[in-house]
Amino acid sequence: MRTDTADVERPAATPAFQPLGFGRKLKNGAATALFGAAFLIAVIPLLWVLFTLLQKGLAPLLRPDWWSHSFNGLTANDYNGGIYHALMGTLLEGLVCAIISVPLGVLVGVYLIEYGQDSRFAKVATFTVDILSGLPSIVAGLFIYALWITTFGFNRSGFAVALSLVLLMVPVVVRVTETMLLIVPDELREASYALGVPKWKTIVKIVLPTALSGILTGVMLGLARVLGETAPLLILVGYAKAISFNLFDGGLASLPLVIYTERSTGTEAGDYRVWGAALTLVLVIMLINLAASLLSRLFAVKTK
């Protein structure tokens, strides 16, 4: 039987990928242009804010005393002094908030996924977390004011601020823990149970280490979010220009409180400090986000 060369070179079946028609190319181009425009609309304000912050707030940060001194003894028109007192106050309040929020949020998340299932108590806990997730920061501050200061009789302090931040951070930690635990394959749990390992030890030794990377990332991002809250600061603590490490009595400065207080002076020196404090706060949050990314890589499950 004779077979022509043209018949041998011809594909046995029609190619799966056909050249795009004009209409599909037009739609693809329009979609690409639309998404590109949306990206620019979202990024331009961000770049504008960052440029303004660097333009107006970089000068204070380049002075060595900005990082080692406070505003104690300065008048409204002085350009000296530094942000050390507010930086330490912000970090102390964030540290206390994290010490309370992280174990509490992780334990609630573990209960909801590993133990609670569809129980009535789990449904109540989930509903409470949903309410707290949308709680305005001013309401959290007012609640702590009514409970901690009015009812229990304690003074306004940095610790009261940390308690109000706990109300804002716990739902973030709970949601992140739930999400990360749901990602852990059930095969890991079943293999552990098949070897006779108790459930609590399976959670501690296998489930939590597998989800640790994502949980740590969520914790750091939640902490970065609450450190920028201002409303609880205005209600629960007084502003102090001097350096203070006392969380339980007296005024305590923080970066958002410095921005609010110095803005009210109405002087050029006050604006100088406001922009410097704003850029410092952005740098602190950026460093926390970078730390979250680093921790995520360090504690990620090794697949090789």
Distance CA 211, CA 216 (A): 9
Predicted confidence band at 222 (pLDDT cuts at 50, 70, 90)?
Answer: confident
Cα angle: 49, vertex 55, 60; to 5 degrees:
115
* Residue 5 in domain: no
Mean pLDDT in residue range 132-143: 91
At residue 181, φ and ψ (nearest 5 deg) are -70, -30
Nearest CA among 267, 217, 284, 251 for reference residue 85: 251
* Residue 262 in domain: no
Percent of the chain clearing pLDDT 70 (strictly above): 93
184: containing domain: 91-253
**Does the CA dihedral 41-43-46-50 come out positive or negative?**
negative
- Across 5-9, 91-95, 240-244, 294-298, the highest mean pLDDT is recorded for 91-95
At residue 94, φ and ψ (nearest 5 deg) are -65, -40
When mean pLDDT is compared across 87-96, 136-145, 294-303, the lowest value belongs to 294-303
* Residue 198 in domain: yes
Mean pLDDT in residue range 43-59: 92
Q: What are the pLDDT digits (tens) for 163-176?
A: 999 999 999 999 99
Q: What are the pLDDT digits (tens) for 182-209?
A: 988 888 888 988 998 899 999 999 899 8
Mean pLDDT in residue range 88-94: 92
Domain total in the chain: 1
* Residue 184 in domain: yes
Mean pLDDT in residue range 99-121: 90
pLDDT computed for residue 81 by the predictor: 85
Predicted confidence band at 1 (pLDDT cuts at 50, 70, 90)?
Answer: very low
With a cut of 60, say whether residue 243 has pLDDT above it: yes
Question: Is residue 62 within 8 Å of 83, Cβ to Cβ?
Answer: no
* Residue 80 in domain: no
CATH number, domain with residue 209: 1.10.3720.10
Distance CA 90, CA 95 (A): 9
Nearest CA among 77, 80, 78 for reference residue 69: 80
* Residue 1 in domain: no
Q: What are the pLDDT digits (tens) for 2-14?
A: 555 555 566 666 6
Distance CA 87, CA 77 (A): 22
* Residue 275 in domain: no
CB atoms near residue 137 (< 10 Å): 19
Question: Is residue 244 within 8 Å of 253, Cβ to Cβ?
Answer: yes
pLDDT computed for residue 304 by the predictor: 59
Q: What is the DSSP letter of 231?
A: H
Mean pLDDT in residue range 139-149: 93
Residue 249 structure tokens: 């009595």
pLDDT computed for residue 229 by the predictor: 87
* Residue 36 in domain: no
Residue-averaged pLDDT of the chain = 88
Q: What is the DSSP letter of 293?
A: H
Predicted confidence band at 104 (pLDDT cuts at 50, 70, 90)?
Answer: very high
> 0.85 exceeded by the pTM?
no
pLDDT computed for residue 263 by the predictor: 86
Distance CA 63, CA 65 (A): 6
Distance CA 251, CA 238 (A): 4
Percent of the chain clearing pLDDT 90 (strictly above): 47
Please give the C-alpha separations between residue 300 and each of 110, 175, 293, in angstroms, as whole numbers.
19, 19, 11
With a cut of 60, say whether residue 105 has pLDDT above it: yes
